Amino acid sequence: MQLGYINTLMATLSKNINMKNYLIHDEWKIIENVFHKAHNKISESIFSLGNGRFGQRANFEENFSGETLLGNYVAGVYYPDKTRVGWWKNGYPEYFAKVLNAANWTGIKIEIDGELFDLNKCEVTDFERVLDMKNGFLERSFKATLVSGKIVKVQAKRFCSIADDECAAIRYSITPVNFDGNISFTPFIDADVINEDSNYEEKFWKGIEEKVDAETGYVLVETLKTEFQVATGMKCLIYKNGERVKESTQHIKQDKYVGINMDVPASDGDELVILKYVANVSSMNYPKPDLMEQCHKAVSRAAETGFDQMLEDQAKAWAEIWKWSDIVIEGDVAAQQGIRFNIFQLYQTYTGEDARLNIGPKGFTGEKYGGSTYWDTEAYCFPFYLATAEEKVARNLLIYRYKQLDKAIENAAKLGFKDGAALFPMVTMNGEECHNEWEITFEEIHRNGAIAYAVHDYIRYTGDKDYLCDYGLELLIAIARFWSQRVHFSEHKQQFVMHGVTGPNEYENNVNNNWYTSTIAVWCLKYTLEALDYVRAKAPKKFEALTEKIKFYEYTETNRWKSIIDNMYFPVDEKLGIFLQQDNYMDKEQVLVKDLDPVNLPLTQKWSWDRILRSCFIKQADVLQGIYFFEEDYDEDTIRRNFDFYEPRTVHESSLSPCVHVVLAALLGREEKAYEMYLRTSRLDLDDYNNDTEDGLHITSMAGTWLAVVKGFGGMRIKDGVLEFNTMIPKNWKAFQFNIRFRGHLLQVRVSHNNTEIHNLSNEPIALKVNGKLVNLTSEVASV
């Protein structure tokens, strides 16, 4: 019955969406057991590796002349690629910041009796590729028949070390099956690479130095313009049937490239193994003159540790991560695999160890969106790290924005705002706006609200109100100043209005009075007033120093804020009892997604932009995003009316959309809709729902999968400082379990069809509200 329910739902989804379902379902692994050459770029994204410091797409070690997107990335290293449009206009960003495709360090060129081993030209059998999420490594095995008829068996395993985040390692094994012959290995480092999304087809790196000797090779390169330097090094050892081989080597040194060629004779059945130890170090962390030496130290450290010990250390490091971030789902392997895949990729992308870094929408899995910071961090990722990591991780994400406040003020000034108003960028690497689509850059200003909301979210969750005194209030005032200037008073309406905006639904541009944007703007003004009162009372000297620093004229400025709060216009439809997404939304032809021919989906790939903009269809939660943020301000009937109106018009073509719908559907008791949306958010990339996984994974939206479980099915909320759970469990799940950190407490929550159990794994008692009942929980278990 349960399996039938899942199969029916998956079949329904696949009819309406361009899903691909070629991966084997497994609780801890992502498994591809047939070589799907047509899906290779998708698999390169899905099987990506990273350690928070650098990462890579799952490109093959051996040559592959087929469709591929080569990708290796180093955190924080970027290039300001001059935009192709609009740079001559006032206020328009001159460049788009891009995390660069860096040195390819996985490559091993192999020739068999002079024939290039190109997997694209081979007949491949017994293929299996496995991403082991529990232990943090990628492995692959197959047999390949070359054009000559020679057959080889290959086994490869590699990982980016979490335990030592400057290092990585590869173990590559090749065995002749039906021949004796000579196998030539050329492990290499190639930094002569290009970004596929380069605006002018230029290369962004220049070579500084190359070194190569018997077993090691190093390349030092520098980015144009930004002058970041990255050193990549390798040490390569070859074994034959377990014995070290010391054949003569040929060194290859070219601009931005080093290679070590080794020829090894092999008989049928001989296993040849190459161990490749790698390091990436950058000028983000070391002085430039020291980079080659530091890279040499890291490579030597990895080689001395050895592959097996490094792999063991990797497993231990991941065990610590999983200890508090894991979510267990019993009875639904597809759902279990989905949530673990999302959590795995999040921690591969961002570990919180470096406050200078943030979370790019594609992480280390692709070039799209530039790898830069978006509002996704505050709206979706922040709650995940807030509840699963040490408190300093979430605080680092907040301070990242605070340190860019001056740039946000500069951004606003470029658009004509004054007096310390701040507009945080839609896309950034250094605080400067670099998005180059006008309807986003100038109009999708709701991002300011998400950044203020994260301050509120942090304080509500941690109780650390002193953050307002040290950092928060200054940021909030700058944002409030922006909203105060961005609205204007309509003589016709006798209310404040906000024109020319784009809400979260990017299938609408340049609209007037987007309900969500206006709602979060007014909330920001209210919250800033509350913060002013708190800091003035709690830290009067800091308050006085701040007002002097930013020239804050409290009486004049706050009076205008209060006037806006009391007189803001919000579009509504009284007859339907809903908040209108924006003025005149009901003038559009009202069509539901279910009535669209599936051949039209995804709209963004099938329709012209003109047709999309004229339609009523919604890319992602817009009004519902506001209701999700400010749920406590609305009664259940209001939430239900808006959900029932907007969800059927939403195509969920933003990866950020389904998770919000899970949370609200669960709140309304819509278990089947919540589960449908959960599968969509958790398996968005695994099943390629939106036909775009080949460009890279949707890293920031992966945090939404966690939100779907914890805030959706777990019903976790904080109200008046008390942690609450109002649980729901999908009928085909036997149970689910998650762990959270909350104000020094470590809690394990387990939900089944019969009850909800909460384990307090801390020494201190805590008061909770579980399914409406107040529980004082000591170190024992509460069962409700």
C-alpha span between 550 and 474 (Å, rounded): 8
Q: How many Cβ atoms are within 10 Å of 48's Cβ, its own excluded? A: 28
* DSSP-based three-state secondary structure for 681: helix
Report helix, strand and coil shares of the chain as percent, to nearest 5: 40, 25, 35
**Cis peptide bond N-terminal to 602, omega within 30:** yes
- Considering 433, 506, 557, 694, which one is annotated as catalytic? 506
C-alpha span between 607 and 623 (Å, rounded): 24
Query: Up-side HSE of residue 400: CA atoms within 13 Å toward CB?
Result: 29
H or E segment to which residue 741 belongs = strand 735-742
With CA atoms as reference, report the closest residue to 522 among 567, 552, 458: 567
Separation of first and last alpha carbons in the chain: 27
Distances (CA, A) of 450 to 398, 424, 534, 626, 689: 11, 10, 21, 10, 26
CA 584 to chain centroid, in Å, comes to: 34
Write the single-letter amino acid at 312.
E
Residues 6+ apart with CB under 8 A from 587: none
CA 154 to chain centroid, in Å, comes to: 32
The three-point CA angle 688-434-428 to 5° equals 70
C-alpha span between 219 and 48 (Å, rounded): 23
CB burial of 229-246 (b: ≥16 within 10 Å; e: otherwise) equals bbbbbbbbbbbbeeeebe
C-alpha span between 382 and 368 (Å, rounded): 22
C-alpha span between 134 and 128 (Å, rounded): 18
- Rama region for 582: left / alpha / beta (φ>0; ψ in -120 to 50; rest): beta
With CA atoms as reference, report the closest residue to 378 among 396, 351, 405: 396
What residues form DSSP beta bridges with 297?
none
Please give the sequence-ordered ranges of beta strands (E in DSSP) within 574-621, or none if there are none. 578-579
Q: How many residues are recorded in the chain?
A: 784
Which single residue is written with the structure tokens 């505050």?
Answer: 378
C-alpha span between 373 and 665 (Å, rounded): 29
* Tokens, residue 394: 């979430």
* DSSP-based three-state secondary structure for 452: helix
With CA atoms as reference, report the closest residue to 56 among 467, 386, 481, 349: 349
Distances (CA, A) of 408 to 418, 420, 447, 567, 574: 12, 9, 12, 27, 38
Strands 488-490 and 327-330: unpaired
Distances (CA, A) of 478 to 76, 114, 418, 481: 26, 66, 10, 5
676 counts as catalytic? no
Distances (CA, A) of 501 to 447, 498, 518: 11, 7, 10
Dump the DSSP string for 454-493.
HHHHHHHHH--THHIIIIIHHHHHHHHHHHHHH-EEETTT
Write the single-letter amino acid at 647.
E
H or E segment to which residue 624 belongs = helix 623-629
Catalytic residues: 506
